[in-house]
Amino acid sequence: MGALVLALGAGGCSLSGQLDSYFSSDKDVTGSITPPPGAKADAEMPPEGDLAYARAAASEVLRRGEKDSSLTWENPRSGARGTVTPIAAAYTQDGQTCRNFLASYVNGSAQSWLQGEACKQGRGGWEVRALKPWKSS
């Protein structure tokens, strides 16, 4: 949890900006995660304060590079929480190593899923480039 707080403090605020879609159906998916019953797909975006914690968790779990790993996150101010799980093999985009991930979002009785993309930066850290509501196919 300390690493998550440090990661958020060091870069969470700089992660805001345009949330562009980088997803296409031709990328290889190496695993799948089925949302629990009652989870909403195609939901609206959660508040930015909660997204900063989810982005920090995504950066941390990707930095670790462990196979089949997930990392939980929680915003102590709002009570929102979730889990971030890489869902695809790494790929190269614009000369950078990137990965897709799925993040759960739980706030009170509301549940939703987000899909994201992060790319490895110069010093080994990962920057979330896209984060948007998950759309079921």
* 55 part of a folded domain: yes
Task: Quote the pLDDT of residue 116.
Answer: 96
* 25 part of a folded domain: no
* 29 part of a folded domain: no
Given its phi and psi angles, is residue 95 left (phi above 0), alpha (psi -120 to 50 degrees) or beta? left
Mean pLDDT, rounded, for 112-127: 93
More confident site: 66 or 116 = 116
* 47 part of a folded domain: yes
* 17 part of a folded domain: no
- Helices (runs of H) and strands (runs of E) counted in the chain: 2, 6
Q: Which amino acid is at 51?
A: L
- Helix intervals (H) in the chain: 2-7, 48-64
Q: Measure the CA–CA gap between 131 and 117, rounded to whole angstroms.
A: 7
Task: Quote the pLDDT of residue 30.
Answer: 43
Q: For the chain, what is the domain count?
A: 1
Q: What is the pLDDT of residues 74-102, one digit of tens each?
A: 999 999 999 999 998 899 999 999 999 99
* 90 part of a folded domain: yes
Task: Quote the pLDDT of residue 124.
Answer: 79
Q: What is the pLDDT of residues 5-59, one digit of tens each?
A: 434 444 433 333 322 333 333 334 444 455 555 555 445 899 999 999 999 999 9
Give the single-character DSSP code of 69.
-
What residues make up the domain containing 106? 2-11+35-133
pTM of the full predicted structure?
Answer: 0.67
* 94 part of a folded domain: yes
Residue 135's pLDDT band (cuts 50, 70, 90): confident
Cα separations in angstroms, 83 against 16, 56, 65, 126? 20, 11, 16, 17
Q: How many CB atoms lie within 10 A of CB 106?
A: 17
Task: Quote the pLDDT of residue 122.
Answer: 82
